[in-house]
Amino acid sequence: MKEIDNLELIVEQCRQELVTNTNFEQLKQLRAVYLGKKSKLIAAMRIMAKLNHEERINFGKAVNQVKKRLNEMFEGQVKIIQQLEIDKKIADEKIDVTLPGAEIATGAIHPLNLVLTDILNFFLNRGYQISEGNEIEEDVYNFEKLNLAKGHPARDMQDSFYINSETLLRTHCTANTIRELEKNDNYLKVVSFGNVYRRDNDDSTHSHQFSQVDIVNVGKTISFANLKWMLTEMCHYLFGKDVQVRLRPSYFPFTEPSVEVDIFWKDRWIEILGAGMLHPNVLKSANLDSDKFQSFAAGIGIERIAMIKYNVNDIRDFYNNNVEFLKGFR
């Protein structure tokens, strides 16, 4: 039948148009052309009214077969388009492993930790042990055993954060030093470090919280000469072998004699730490015989050293979490 041949022409036309169809929107429009209510197939079926009964039966069978074939063709094209989209996505996401890697932003060691590590390494290399201790300390260890009895005027030098009458936030790491002294009855070389707290108004050079290192060396032949050598060597280690170092007489309740240490830095003398020979009363409070043993000690403010080494003018810069500031220490 000529009418059935026309149906085959519709199938062939659809096949040719599907070949160039590469997206779902086009496929939707094309499906409406061939299978919609106003499609070519519907238009072809109008001839049925002019056919006799037998021809109508044969033509109806042919229409159903064509409709089935067209549906199968469209379903096949859906799978082809889906695969094309998957292939494109894979191609777009493909990584060229031969390309140079993108720079990854990394963190940096905090300047205070840089200085602390330098100081600890200096003493570790000379046989010292490390001790941290507790930030919440008893008054007896923070003051009394360090020759600062209750009512001692020197306590005003370290206005403190008391939790109760007998407990406070430690004002110096020397509190841990006396605990270490109590554990030993002869020779001892210890470095204590950590945060300390004092009532102070925060400004460019002061903070209510800062970090400190405290050093103690106990022995039967320890002398002030040993202290002077240690202080000079440490300053050369931290600031360079050519830096000038001087010691000035000073006063600390827990050392006698006491000194303050200065370095000549950028055309001026700058104070960097305090030190001295442990007072006999401190040795006695740790059950050490001050007639047999001597000891030197020193206390170093980490922020002070960092400000000098890295030319930082405001101590608050170390705590403000300013990424741009911290990037300078990579």
Mean pLDDT of the 19-48 span: 74
Q: What is the pLDDT of residues 109-147, one digit of tens each?
A: 899 999 999 999 999 999 999 998 899 999 999 999 999
Residue 23 pLDDT class (50, 70, 90 cuts): confident
Q: How many CB atoms lie within 10 A of CB 313?
A: 8
Pick the most confident of 32-36, 38-42, 148-152, 252-256.
252-256
Q: By the 8 A CB rule, do 312 and 94 touch?
A: no
Q: By the 8 A CB rule, do 38 and 98 touch?
A: no
Is residue 1 predicted with pLDDT exceeding 70?
no
DSSP string for residues in 82-97: HHHHHHHHHHHH---T
Element (H, E) at 66: helix 53-93
Domains and CATH numbers, the chain: 2-93 (no CATH), 111-327 (3.30.930.10)
Q: Which of the pair, 63 or 113, is modelled with greater confidence? A: 113
Mean pLDDT of the 196-215 span: 91
Percent with pLDDT over 90 in the chain: 53
3-state secondary structure of 20: coil
Is residue 157 predicted with pLDDT exceeding 70?
no
Q: Which two tokens stand for residue 103?
A: 């720079």
Q: Is the peptide bond before 257 cis (omega within 30 degrees of 0)?
A: yes
Which amino acid type is present at position 12?
Answer: E
Which amino acid type is present at position 161?
Answer: F
Is residue 212 predicted with pLDDT exceeding 70?
yes
Q: By the 8 A CB rule, do 260 and 274 touch?
A: yes
Which amino acid type is present at position 285?
Answer: S
DSSP string for residues in 167-196: EEE-S-THHHHHHHHHH-SS-EEEEEEEEE
Among 75-89, 244-258, 279-293, the least confident range: 75-89
Q: Are strands 188-197 and 129-131 parallel, antiparallel or unpaired?
A: parallel
Among 60-74, 99-113, 123-137, 266-280, the least confident range: 60-74
Is residue 158 predicted with pLDDT exceeding 70?
no
Question: How far is 286 from 181, CA to CA, in rounded Å?
Answer: 6
Q: Where are the beta strands (DSSP E) in the chain?
A: 129-131, 136-138, 162-164, 167-169, 188-197, 209-219, 244-252, 255-264, 269-278, 294-301
Is residue 42 predicted with pLDDT exceeding 80?
no
